[in-house]
Amino acid sequence: MPKGVACPPRYAAVSATANHRDRDALAVVDDPAPAHRALDRLVQPVRDGQGRASRPFNPAASSDLSLLCGRPPRRTPAVRLAEPRATPVPLRAAAVPDRRRSAHVSRLLKRLHLRGLLAKIPRSRRWRVTQLGHAVMTTAILLREEDFPNSFLKEAA
């Protein structure tokens, strides 16, 4: 384009089309901020209504991952308090009395509830997995089973 006094409208039109192309290209890029906020919510200690701190989750730890994967990330309607006792809960001793096991499961459910991964179904003893819970559990499984081993093998090679 020539550089004269009559050319600024043409410069403006070319610049505007370039800006529109850049804006359209950036519109399809997903914003990772919600995923970062969900991960920060998962790995930070949380205080309940009485001021007691709840231990944070470590998505790389096998005990925390088994808790997140104890319920497969399929669309289950609800979880009862008695059901997790049959699934492998990370307890230290194999022969633990039912009362202690029930208390342990209640604490684990509370940890999940404080972070918004489980929601209580009103007037029942049942819990449901929230949309955030499904997303976090599925992502934790994918990270542990697929992404981390693949990236580790690339680094080692």
In a domain, 16, yes or no: no
Domain that holds residue 57: 34-41+52-156
**Model pTM?**
0.59
Do the domain assignments include residue 47?
no
Residue 146 lies in a domain: yes
Answer whether residue 143 is part of any domain: yes
How much is the pLDDT for 74? Answer: 46
CATH number of the structural domain spanning residue 127: 1.10.10
Q: Which residues pair with 129 in a beta bridge?
A: 118
Does residue 27 lie within any of the structural domains?
no
Residues ≥6 apart with Cβ < 8 Å to 54: 45, 46, 47, 48, 110, 111, 114
Task: Provide the number of structural domains found in the chain.
Answer: 1
Residue 14 lies in a domain: no
Q: Report pLDDT for 122.
A: 92
Residue 86 CB partners (closer than 8 Å, separation 6+): none
Closest CA to 102 of 91, 113, 111, 112: 91
Q: Which residues, given as ranges, of the chain have pLDDT below 50?
A: 71-76, 84-89
pLDDT attached to residue 8: 82
Residue 16: the pLDDT is 92
For residue 144, being part of any structural domain is answered with yes
- Tokens read off for 143: 């990270």
User: Cβ distance 104 to 112 under 8 Å?
Assistant: no
pLDDT for residue 26: 75
Are the C-beta atoms of 134 and 117 separated by less than 8 Å?
Answer: no
